[in-house]
Amino acid sequence: MNLRDLDYICAVAEHKHFGRAAESCHVSQPTLSGQIKKLEEQLGVTLFERSHKGIRVTDIGSEIILIAQEARDAAKRIKAVAASAQDPLAGNLSLGLIPTIAPYLIPMFVGQMAQKLPKLAITYREDITDRLNESLLSGELDAAILATPPEEDSLTSIPLYSEPFWLIFPEDHELHELDEASMSDVKQDDVLLLTEGHCFRDQALSICRPAQRPGRQSLRATSLETLINLVATGQGVTLVPALAMRGSWSSDLGLDSRKLTDKSAARQIYLTYRKRFPRAEVLRALAELIQTGLPSHVDIGEG
């Protein structure tokens, strides 16, 4: 038994298909199938039930694959520890970001990467909070930039910054007459929000008046850019985080904005990672790089 065998059985368990598993492992299907058959014979158990209906992981297979995943994660940590001993700021890093952060934050620091961290290669992945947390816990991601604190005991974080929320509305909207605005100034059915699954939706709802509910239920926006364009067509108003205020829409779409005065109208952003992650030094360096490039209208660290 070797790590390659563990890669093979984990791939089959994930894809439920020998062909796709072989493709993901960059080997031929006969090679993968034959090696798994040898492993089953060596262990004296059946890991997968094969039938014309597909592949099912057996009960004992599920237990073994769980251990295999832990072993693969341990092997990755061994390699990472060895690499960090040579140069802790070098190598590859997989970084997840939620959609309401990624398009606004990445351009602020990626240009400095070559100068400040020239030996670090970052792979970016944009996804919603729940899936990023799952990928962190499984070891698929090294770190993630999230707008919620870690909820699992195995995770920890570095507070990056706190950013206030702004209210966006058409220039001819009645809110234009106000020098400052709070959610109490907004009509109950006027607020457009992201679809469920986005933490920014929950954060926006948390500062709405108790009786307020998101209106326009027929709208199912999955990005801030979509919401902003809907507001530009007169569909309502919306909230955006401070970093999004730097977008080109602020001058091109005939929109106006006010920083919300509600005390809870802000969110804390974290760089989250596993406590066992062996390259915490590179994450601290990345956090410092990100904070250096932030604009003045956000608070560095914990707000």
Q: Give Cα separations from 82 to 25, 77, 78, 191 (angstroms).
A: 24, 9, 6, 51
CATH 3.40.50.360 fits 3-83, yes or no: no
Cβ partners under 8 Å of residue 46, min gap 6: 40, 58, 60, 61
The predicted structure's pLDDT at residue 219: 57
Which tens digit of pLDDT belongs to each residue from 127-149?
Answer: 999 999 999 999 999 999 999 99
CATH class entry, domain 87-160+269-295: alpha beta
Query: 181: exposed, middle or buried (C-beta count within 10 Å: 0-12, 13-18, 19+)?
Result: buried
Hey, where are the domains in the chain?
3-83, 87-160+269-295, 162-266
Mean pLDDT of 163-176: 88
pLDDT tier for residue 217 given thresholds of 50, 70 and 90: very low
Q: How far is CA 134 from the centre of its chain?
A: 10
Q: Which residue has the higher pLDDT, 225 or 93?
A: 93
Cα–Cα distance measured from residue 301 to residue 161, given in angstroms and rounded to the nearest whole number: 5
CATH 3.40.50.720 fits 162-266, yes or no: no
Identify the top-confidence range among 104-113, 202-211, 293-302.
Answer: 104-113
Please say if the pLDDT value at position 82 is more than 60.
yes
Residues 130-139: b if buried by 16+ CB within 10 A, e if exposed: ebbbebbeeb
Mean pLDDT of 234-251: 78
Domains 3-83 and 87-160+269-295 share a fold: no
- Least reliable range by pLDDT among 68-77, 153-162, 250-259: 250-259
pTM comes to 0.68
Give the chain's mean pLDDT: 86
